[in-house]
Each structure stands twice: as structure tokens, then as C-alpha cells.
Amino acid sequence: MMNPTFLYGTAWKEEETERLTRLAIEAGFRGIDTANQRRHYFEAGVGAAVAKAIADGLLRRDEIFLQTKFTYADGQDHRMPYDPNADVATQVQQSFASSLEHLQVASIDSYVLHGPSQRRGLGAADGEAWRAMESIHRSGRTRHLGISNVALDQLEELMRIAAVPPSFVQNRCFARTRWDRNVRAFCREHGIVYQGFSLLTANARELNHQDFWQIVERLDRTPAQVVFRFALQVGMLPLTGTTDPDHMREDLDIGSFELSGEDLGVIETIAG
Ligand SMILES: NC(=O)c1ccc[n+]([C@@H]2O[C@H](COP(=O)([O-])OP(=O)(O)OC[C@H]3O[C@@H](n4cnc5c(N)ncnc54)[C@H](OP(=O)(O)O)[C@@H]3O)[C@@H](O)[C@H]2O)c1
């Protein structure tokens, strides 16, 4: 399938995960983001919703983009999808096998390293994890690899050591860094798709700015629609984890209007 233009995020939904994922599919989302990290995600709930939607004839497997993640032990709680005493490569293999079971599929579209093992630079564990992810990619069980929560220097380093480069970067996107401008520029140069999350929640102050509201009011759209449309026009693949069916429809309905170059400039620099 083609890469989707919007991802439905499934974090923090607990026992509502299956119901909300189903609602998102019904609303029209064709890209789903999850993680094999029970602390924040219920991956098996995502898998149940997708399997049921396919069984019900809502869509075929090849019409939905599925992305999940490998999360190191220090990002997990006691419910780990692997043996924490095993080496990192084994942990990746076990976590991935468990993801396929949870998702009830034979392969996925994107497998993401949830975050580097250290704040600056990459560690030995990251090289090991990436090699294990590459071998999963070579086996045909994921179409793409990705990395999340990554700084520019870490992404540059990954590009140097990777045999299979990332197709995706998934980062929290702050208006005050001009919406992660440096990482986005690097991604653009290297053909990597930038996935932005927390576009609404990380930018509450900026989205109250009167210059932003003028755009919202002139276009007669909601703030969320203007932010997501902005993301799309500057080349991002936005995520939304909304639990509200009206918001789901609102978020998907951003193809029917356009921001001018001037509007984009105002939003790009809204934090100064
Ligand atoms: N890689 C990582 O480390 C990482 C970290 C965090 C998140 N993520 C991914 O990103 C996804 C999205 O997370 P997020 O941090 O961006 O927050 P989010 O879960 O999408 O939260 C958005 C908040 O804004 C509200 N909202 C109001 N109007 C909305 C609208 N029209 N559309 C959407 N939301 C609206 C939502 O409330 P309503 O529910 O009432 O709409 C919700 O409280 C997660 O589910 C996860 O998949 C990844």
C-alpha cells in the first residue's frame, strides 16, 4: 500500500484500545501507530480491532499501514514482551514476534526503534538493536524501519552506521523549535518521512497566539485542523490519538482546504 497521510495513534487507551481503533478505521484512518510497550499501549487491542475489521470486510490487510515499535527495558514496566536478561538482538526478535502475534498479521509496514538507549549519541545497544531490525527487514516481515525520539546528531549517526536506513522518524513536534526544523530538513534531504506527534498537546501556548487564531477564523476551521493541515503542507505525516469520533472526522477532513505560503510562514514562526 501507499504510505498514509495521517496516522491514528493508539497510546494511553487501555481497555478502550480495540473500540477506538475500530472507530478510527470506520472514520477512515488507514495508518495505525502502536508499540509493544504495555505501559503506554495495548497492542493486542489494536490487533483485535484490525483483525475484526478485516474479517468484517471493512478493508483488506494491504489497505492498512501498521507500525509498531521496539522499546528498551527501561521504557517498559514489568509487562515486558521479551526476556530482559537476553541480549538486545534477542530482545528485538522476541518483541517483534510478540508484536506479530498481538497484531495477528504475518508482516507489518514499519518497525520503529522507540528511542535511542542514551540521551546523546548512539550506544552499542542501538547498533545491536538496529542490526536486529535490519535482519527482520531483510526477512520481509517489515517493509520499513524507523526511529523515534531522536535528535539530529543521533539521526546523522544512525545514517552512517545503517545498512538499511530509516524510512521514518517519529518525534514530538514543538512549535518552539520551529516544529523540529533541523530534523525535518535532514529528513527531507535523505528521503525520510517525518512523523510528528503531540502537535496539539505540546503547543498549547502557541495555538492560543492571536496570529494563529486569525488564520483559524479566516478559514473557518478548527485549531486542530489548521495545525494538521500545516503539518501536511510542510511535508510531515501527522499523528492524532483523538478518542472522539467527531474529532476523528475533523482531523481527516484536512484535504479540502489549503494554507497560503504566508499562513505557513506565520505558523512556522509562531513561537518567535
Ligand atoms: N514515539 C513516542 O515516543 C510517542 C510519544 C507520544 C505519542 N506517540 C504517538 O502519537 C499519538 C498521538 O499522541 P499525542 O501526544 O499527539 O496526543 P493525543 O493522544 O493525540 O492527544 C490529543 C489531545 O488533544 C485533544 N483534541 C482536541 N481536539 C482534537 C482534535 N480535533 N484532534 C485530535 N485531538 C484533539 C484530544 O482530546 P479528544 O480525545 O477528546 O479528541 C487529546 O486530549 C499516540 O497515540 C502515539 O501513537 C508516540
Residue with cell 500500500: 1
Q: Residue 133: which residues within 8 A CB-CB, separation 6 or more?
A: 70, 92, 111, 113, 142, 145, 164
Question: Tens place of pLDDT for every residue, the chain, 272 residues?
Answer: 678 999 999 999 999 999 999 999 999 999 999 999 999 999 999 999 999 999 999 999 999 999 999 999 999 999 999 999 999 999 999 999 999 999 999 999 999 999 999 999 999 999 999 999 999 999 999 999 999 999 999 999 999 999 999 999 999 999 999 999 999 999 999 999 999 999 999 999 999 999 999 999 999 999 999 999 999 999 999 999 999 999 999 999 999 999 999 999 999 999 98
Q: Which three cell numbers stand for residue 182?
A: 533541523
For residues 12 and 243, the answer to whether their CB atoms sit within 8 Å is: no
Ligand 1 atom at minimal distance to the Cα of residue 114: 1
Q: Reduce the DSSP state of residue 32 to 3 states and report it.
A: strand
Q: Please tell me whether residue 84 adopts helix, strand or coil conformation.
A: coil
Q: Locate cell 501507530: which residue?
A: 33
Q: How far apart are CA 214 and CA 125, in angstroms?
A: 48
The C-alpha torsion from 26 through 30 and 35 to 40, rounded to 10°, is -40
Identify the residues whose C-beta falls under 6 Å from ligand 1.
9-11, 33, 148-149, 170, 197-198, 200-201, 222, 224, 239-244, 247, 250-251
75 in Cβ contact with 59 (< 8 Å): no
Separation of CA 175 and ligand 1 centre (Å): 16
